[in-house]
A and B are shown apart, each in its own frame.
Chain A
């Protein structure tokens, strides 16, 4: 089953915002292999967080990840207009698969 994300979130420039990703004991609860992707329409998705909290080279420090229990979270600080995109979480699953969240559309007001 897919991980559960809010369909949409919004915030104003300069604000901080958190996107949640809820799973089960068979995926997020059992794994530190959790990633987040940023996806602009018409472009390939971009990895912005891996292993729950790690940031790939070149990704802004404004993006941070965390996990508590069965919920992973992506926090974006000092929101900018360019952050408007769809964000996906994903996790290793103990059913020997990888599961994605349904995606969250971030709107910068």
Chain B
């Protein structure tokens, strides 16, 4: 069965960096775009970034553009979210999610359990 397992969350000071990792299994990883979606405490869902099935295309929400970087390793079945210059408003549960072959389609059918990132001094 499809599984997405995030790791790398934790508490980090403002301005510092953190990298989230997502281990995927149970499907042909190299055939799907992978998204990161977050949910701040008490808030709704917010799309963060997507990487195409082959890693050639990457797109970001304006709120993280220039600070976050998404990538993937199809040989390891892993997706990554490098988060730099973190701010308090980046505090959220970050979900690794599976898209479809069309990179910017919001057809997101599987979600990980989420990784909590807390940005605080």
| In contact, A98 and B112 (Cβ under 8 angstroms) | no
Chain B residues within 8 Å of A96, by CB: 59, 104
Instruction: Identify the A interface with B (CB < 8 A).
Output: 2, 33-35, 37, 39, 44-45, 47, 50-51, 56, 86, 88, 90-93, 96-103
Count A/B pairs, Cβ under 8 Å: 67
| In contact, A97 and B104 (Cβ under 8 angstroms) | yes
| In contact, B47 and A35 (Cβ under 8 angstroms) | no
**Given known contacts A44-B114, A100-B46, A102-B44, A35 and B107 CB-to-CB distance under 8 angstroms:** yes
Chain A residues within 8 Å of B78, by CB: none
Chain B residues within 8 Å of A34, by CB: 106
Nearest first, the 8 closest Cβ-Cβ pairs linking A and B are: A44-B111, A103-B44, A50-B107, A90-B106, A98-B47, A35-B106, A33-B105, A98-B106
Distance of A78 Cα from B93 Cα, bound (Å): 33
Which size class do B's interface residues fall under? 20 to 34
| In contact, A47 and B62 (Cβ under 8 angstroms) | no
What are 22 A-B interface contacts by the 8 Å CB criterion? A33-B104, A33-B105, A33-B106, A33-B107, A34-B106, A35-B107, A35-B108, A37-B108, A45-B111, A47-B109, A88-B45, A90-B108, A96-B104, A97-B47, A97-B104, A98-B35, A98-B47, A98-B59, A100-B45, A100-B46, A102-B44, A103-B45
Distance of A105 Cα from B60 Cα, bound (Å): 27
B74 on the A face (CB < 8 A): no
Which residues 1-41 of B sit at the A interface, judged by CB distance below 8 A?
35, 37
From residue B43, how far is it (CB to closest CB) to chain A in Å?
9
